[in-house]
Every structure is written in structure tokens, then in C-alpha cells.
């Protein structure tokens, strides 16, 4: 049986927001990962279809970081 796994702040998915390094908490489930980023008082949580972070390709990492950066740059200021 496959269970959940919580990863605390892996550097591979870290982003830089306003000069500050933001490393996510990641929860792995059977068929997806949930990413939780925090910058100051703003939080971002989203799911990405990925079995586990260890098998994430460079393209997966690029997409995840781009989404998080976009949110904090454009959506976070709304």
C-alpha cells in the first residue's frame, strides 16, 4: 500500500520572491504532489500530477517554479 509522505522544504523547488528564498513544503500522495509555499503573509497551495518529487523531470521542476513565481508576482498582489 502506498501512503502519503511529507517533505519539508526541498531546495530543488525553491523560488526567489523579492530577494527572499522560498522553499515549499510538499506532500506526496499516490498520484499527485501538493506544494505549499509561504512568503511573508501570503500562502500558495496547489497540486501537480506527479507520483513523487524524486522522479520529477527538469521540465516538471521548471513548470512548478514558474507557476509559483507567477502567483507571487502577479496574483499575490491582488
Instruction: Express each pLDDT in 28-64 by its tens digit.
Output: 888 889 999 998 888 999 999 988 788 889 999 999 9
Domain that holds residue 66: 5-75
SS3 27: strand
Q: How far apart are the first and last CA of the chain?
A: 42
For position 1, what pLDDT does the model report? 39
* Cα 72 off chain centre by: 12
- Domains in the chain, number: 1
Query: pLDDT-derived band of residue 8, with 50, 70 and 90 as boundaries?
Result: low
Tell me the average pLDDT across 15-32: 89
User: What CA–CA distance (Å, rounded) separates 47 from 64?
Assistant: 10
User: What CA–CA distance (Å, rounded) separates 15 from 23?
Assistant: 7
Statement: residue 9 has pLDDT above 90: no
What is the pTM (predicted TM-score) of this model?
0.80
Helix (H) or strand (E) run with residue 5 in it = strand 5-8
Amino acid at each position: 500500500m502506498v501512503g502519503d509522505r511529507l517533505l519539508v522544504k526541498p531546495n530543488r523547488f525553491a523560488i526567489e520572491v523579492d530577494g527572499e528564498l522560498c522553499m515549499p513544503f510538499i506532500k506526496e500522495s499516490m498520484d499527485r504532489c501538493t506544494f505549499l509555499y509561504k512568503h511573508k503573509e501570503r500562502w500558495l497551495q496547489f497540486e501537480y500530477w506527479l507520483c513523487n518529487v524524486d522522479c520529477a523531470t527538469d521540465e516538471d521542476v521548471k513548470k512548478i517554479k514558474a507557476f509559483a513565481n507567477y502567483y507571487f508576482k502577479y496574483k499575490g498582489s491582488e
